Amino acid sequence: MTDVRTFYWHDRVKGRRKLFWDKYVKKRKSAWKDFAIGNAGDIFARNLVSYFYPGANPVNVKDGPRILCVGSIGHKLQPGDVLSGIGCKTTELPSKHAPDVMVHGLRGPISFDAYKAAGFDVSRVAWLADPGLLIAKMLKPAKAKPGRVSFIPHYREREEIRKLMPAGMKIIDIDDDPLSVGKSIQKSELIYTSSLHGAVFAHALDRPVVLIKPATEEPLLKYEDYYLAVGLGKPVMLDSIIDADFATAPNSPASLTLDIDTISFPAEATLREKGILL
């Protein structure tokens, strides 16, 4: 089996038993920001590597070269990295701080402009989108349960949000296997979310989305970056989940005009040449 060097955010993962103990026995508030499995949107990097490079083993490493395909990790670049779907948190990136970086795909036009302004070669960018949309290729179509409405909170909000949830709304925890999160989304007719990963997965699976403004300090730029890439314009957000109105039409459609088949990853030969596929 070959290894593919990648990187995705995967901190504070404790496992189910330890996390349950800290949350409900020790009642540690900080434990609500920890994970049993990981943030589904970030660990989806493993699914993407397996999808584009069948039989390869994704290895999460902090030093380059790597293929970077999920998350707002533009500030984490290392020499020799290949960018294939990541985005940035701010429009002000350090000026080409990592040499020999190949920019193949980015999350959206804001990220594109930021990398261009920082001096990176963006002439070979093949597409602008979030590769999380490819979850649609990994799950069979499924019908929603009539009337089911679900909320996917940002991982930092999971404790407080439980006190605010409107009656009749389900919670989908982003701390789960990506395909399990996807299946929970498929069971819903409508998705509210303050998690960008939640919005991407829901759009991919043909479920309408209402964005909730994150209650924590989360850069809104990344939401706009993605929404612009898929042709939805600047997103409209509710201030809080308590403002949810099930009778109100969602502010983004269930189906996107973007063709997800345009999302490609570099050839295996390219990754071998750069020392990413071993």
Domain ranges, ordered by start, for the chain: 3-134+261-273, 136-243
Instruction: Give me the residues paired with residue 4 across strands.
Output: 58, 277
pTM: 0.91
pLDDT, averaged per 10 consecutive residues of the chain (278 residues), comes to 91 65 58 77 97 97 96 92 96 78 97 94 97 98 94 77 76 95 97 95 95 85 96 89 72 82 97 96
Instruction: Note the pLDDT of residue 93.
Output: 83
- What are the tokens at 80? 């020799």
| Contact assessment for residue 144 and residue 186, using Cβ atoms and an 8 Å cutoff | yes
Instruction: Note the pLDDT of residue 247.
Output: 62
d(CA 96, CA 114): 11
The position carrying tokens 């850069």 is 219
Instruction: Note the pLDDT of residue 98.
Output: 72
Q: What is the CATH number of domain 136-243?
A: 3.40.50
| Contact assessment for residue 51 and residue 131, using Cβ atoms and an 8 Å cutoff | no
Instruction: Note the pLDDT of residue 82.
Output: 98
Is the peptide bond between 65 and the residue preceding it cis, with omega within 30 degrees of 0?
yes
| Contact assessment for residue 86 and residue 73, using Cβ atoms and an 8 Å cutoff | yes
